[in-house]
């Protein structure tokens, strides 16, 4: 069975691009446009990895990550913060429960190996 990645991003164009890229690597994708949808999707769909934008409407990514980490069965779920704000949010992301942080724009050369590292490939 293919591994599933939840893309949490409020901009539809960025979400669509990430979806295209991730699916070209052979992964299945789910999408959420805000943190509240991310929490609900994690609880219902149990993805193998979450790419969590930090700045979103309704609920930001740090809050969503804290809530997800409080749910049963999510301790080993890799949550990767995705931000255009650079490494300035790295400490906050880790404190909220993220496993790592990647910057926007995404480095296409490094992205697939990065995902594989967290998905055990």
The enclosing domain of 111 has a CATH number of 3.40.50.2300
- What mean pLDDT is predicted for residues 52-58? 92
Query: Domain residues for 104?
Result: 4-119
Q: What is the mean pLDDT of the chain?
A: 93
What is the b/e burial string over 8-29, where b = at least 16 CB atoms within 10 angstroms of the residue's CB? bbbeeebbeebbebbeeeebeb
> What is the DSSP secondary structure assignment for residue 55, as one 8-state letter?
S
More confident: 7 or 107: 7
Q: What is the pLDDT of residue 3?
A: 96
Q: How many distinct structural domains can be found in the chain?
A: 1
Q: Which of 5, 6, 63 is nearest to 36 (CA)?
A: 63
Q: What is the pLDDT of residues 58-114, one digit of tens each?
A: 999 999 999 999 998 898 999 999 988 777 788 999 999 999 999 988 888 899 999
> pTM for the full model?
0.95
Q: What is the pLDDT of residue 61?
A: 95
Which whole-number Å values give the CA distances from 48 to 68, 78, 110, in the listed order? Answer: 13, 7, 19
């Amino acid at each position: 069975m293919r591994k599933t990645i939840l893309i949490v991003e409020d901009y539809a164009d960025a979400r669509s691009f990430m979806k295209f890229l991730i699916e070209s690597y052979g992964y299945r994708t789910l999408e959420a446009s805000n943190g509240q949808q991310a929490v609900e999707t994690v609880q219902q769909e149990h993805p193998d990895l979450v790419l969590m934008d930090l700045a979103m409407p309704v609920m930001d990514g740090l809050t969503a990550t804290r809530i997800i980490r409080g749910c049963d069965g999510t301790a080993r779920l890799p949550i990767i913060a995705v931000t255009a704000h650079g490494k300035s949010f790295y400490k906050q992301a880790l404190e909220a429960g993220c496993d790592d942080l990647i910057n926007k724009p995404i480095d296409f050369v490094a992205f697939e190996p990065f995902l594989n590292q967290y998905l055990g490939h």
